[in-house]
Structure 1
Amino acid sequence: MGSLSIWHWLIVLLIVMLVFGTKKLRNIGQDLGGAVKGFKDGMREGDAADKPAQSAQPKELRDSTTIDVEAKDKSSQQK
Structure 2
Amino acid sequence: MGSLSIWHWLIVLVIVMMVFGTKKLRNIGSDLGGAVKGFKEGMKEGDSTTSTSAASDKPAVKELRDGNAIDVEVKDSSSQKQG
User: Which sections of structure 2, spanning at least 5 residues, go unmatched?
Assistant: 60-71, 76-83
- Greater RCO (CA < 8 Å, at least 6 residues apart): 2
Query: Which structure: larger Rg?
Result: 1
Structure-2 separation of matches of 1:49 and 1:34? 22
**Aligned residue for 1:61?**
73
Q: How high is the sequence identity, in percent, across the aligned residues? A: 67
User: Quick check: which one's helix share is greater?
Assistant: 1
Helix, strand or coil at the partner of 2:55 = helix
Helix, strand or coil at the partner of 1:27 = helix
User: Quick check: which one's strand share is greater?
Assistant: 2
What is the deviation of 1:58? Answer: 5.6
Taking the TM superposition and a 5 Å limit, the aligned residue runs for 1:1-79 are 1-57=1-57, 61-62=73-74
Relative to the length of structure 1, the TM-score reads 0.66
Helix, strand or coil at the partner of 1:62 = coil
Helix, strand or coil at the partner of 1:55 = coil
| Paired residues, number | 63
After superposition, give the CA deviation of every residue in 1:21-77 in whole Å (9 maximum; x if it has no partner): 1111111111111111111111110111101222324687136xxxxxxxxxxxxxx
* RMSD (Å), alpha carbons: 2.0
Relative to the length of structure 2, the TM-score reads 0.63
